[in-house]
Amino acid sequence: MQNLDNHAKLLAALRWQVEAGADEAVQDTPYQLAEGHLRGGAPPRAVEPRDAVERLKGRVESQSVPQPTPAPKVLPQAVPDFSACASLEELREAVAGFDLDLKATATQMVFADGDPASKIMFIGEAPGGDEDRQGRPFVGVSGKLFNKMLASIGLMREHIYITNTILWRPPGNRTPTEEEVAVFLPILRRHIALVAPEILVCLGGAAAKALLATDMGILKLRGRWHDYDMGGTMLPLLPTLHPAYLLRMPEQKTLAWRDFCLIAQKMREKSI
Ligand code: URA
């Protein structure tokens, strides 16, 4: 009976991982823990990582578990005229009322945080689980690193304004699709125009590629200022590495540190 309980718990844990988008075995030598060993049988045996993932998927699928929501093909039913929003509050309301498939899987909209009067605006990619629960951008592990990056140049969250390219959490924290980014671009442009910062910083490639209309990767874009056309006013835009990427690749923090020195320098130039 207890073995059956364990079996059900293990399957539930595995199902959760598949739903969350796990598609790789991360150990060098994965073991079939859910089989014989736990039922008092032979000790764990090593399997090929890919086999382990395929078996896991097969088992979860065979139990008719709901699969992760696929990215919708056509997103909005009707797109409001975001450019007509005259204030951040109007924009927030227009976006909240926007009929969008992403809303079905997210808890709430994650609009922005920080000081809307700030002269420096940061733009991330999309809310993750913590942000989805709390309704504020960058409050999870990436947010903690982001706060430290700000502190390294003497800034705090209260000194800056921050939003994301996509304002609802994509299911399973998947990367936003190109269509989703395209749908949110007019919102982001209006958001920037209403905040009217003097400096823009894009955390990761999503925002930078959309705002600069380029396919270039973040590692090529970062480290230098670009011009963002805010309705005729040119704004300096710095793409830099996303904190979530830095958590996976800590050796790249040196590059991010160089970028943050550029931000500090630009703030001095502009007496911010
Ligand atoms: N990553 C982002 O890009 N934005 C968040 O708000 C959280 C994590």
- Among 4-18, 225-239, 243-257, name the one with the lowest average pLDDT: 4-18
| pLDDT, tens only, 76-122 | 567 789 999 999 999 999 999 998 899 999 999 999 999 999 999 99
CA 124 to ligand 1 center in whole angstroms:
5
Q: Which atom of ligand 1 is nearest to the CA of 131?
A: 6
Q: Which atom of ligand 1 is nearest to the CA of 206?
A: 3
What's the pLDDT score for residue 8?
75
Q: How far apart are the first and last CA of the chain?
A: 66
User: Which tokens belong to 254?
Assistant: 């040196």
What's the pLDDT score for residue 13?
73
- Mutation choice for ligand 1 from 107, 109, 113, 125, CB with most ligand atoms inside 8 A: 125
Query: With 70 as the cut, is the pLDDT of residue 72 above it?
Result: no
Confidence of residue 62 (pLDDT cuts 50, 70, 90): low
What's the pLDDT score for residue 79?
79
Confidence of residue 7 (pLDDT cuts 50, 70, 90): confident
- Identify the residues whose C-beta falls under 6 Å from ligand 1: 124-128, 131, 137-138, 140, 142, 164, 244
Distance CA 45, CA 167 (A): 44
Query: With 80 as the cut, is the pLDDT of residue 192 above it?
Result: yes
Distances from the Cα of 211 to the Cα of 79, 109, 126, 215, 251, angstroms: 19, 21, 15, 11, 27
Q: Which atom of ligand 1 is nearest to the CA of 124?
A: 3
Confidence of residue 32 (pLDDT cuts 50, 70, 90): very low
If one compares 245 and 64, the residue with the highest pLDDT of the two is 245
- The pLDDT of 178-203, averaged and rounded, is 97
CA 41 to ligand 1 center in whole angstroms:
44
If one compares 161 and 28, the residue with the highest pLDDT of the two is 161
- Among 24-38, 123-137, 147-161, 234-248, name the one with the lowest average pLDDT: 24-38
CA 23 to ligand 1 center in whole angstroms:
21
CA 222 to ligand 1 center in whole angstroms:
18
CA 145 to ligand 1 center in whole angstroms:
11
Confidence of residue 174 (pLDDT cuts 50, 70, 90): very high
Distance CA 130, CA 21 (A): 17
Confidence of residue 73 (pLDDT cuts 50, 70, 90): low
- The pLDDT of 172-177, averaged and rounded, is 94
What's the pLDDT score for residue 67?
58
Q: Which atom of ligand 1 is nearest to the CA of 243?
A: 1
Question: What is the three-class DSSP state of 234?
Answer: strand
- Among 7-11, 105-109, 256-260, name the one with the lowest average pLDDT: 7-11
**Domain covering 80-269 in this structure, CATH number:** 3.40.470.10
Give me the percent of the chain exceeding a pLDDT of 90: 69
CA 234 to ligand 1 center in whole angstroms:
26
What's the pLDDT score for residue 37?
42
Sequence-separated (6 or more) residues with CB below 8 Å from residue 17: 56
Q: Which atom of ligand 1 is nearest to the CA of 203?
A: 3
Q: Which residue spans of the chain are classified as CATH 3.40.470.10?
A: 80-269
What's the pLDDT score for residue 39?
45
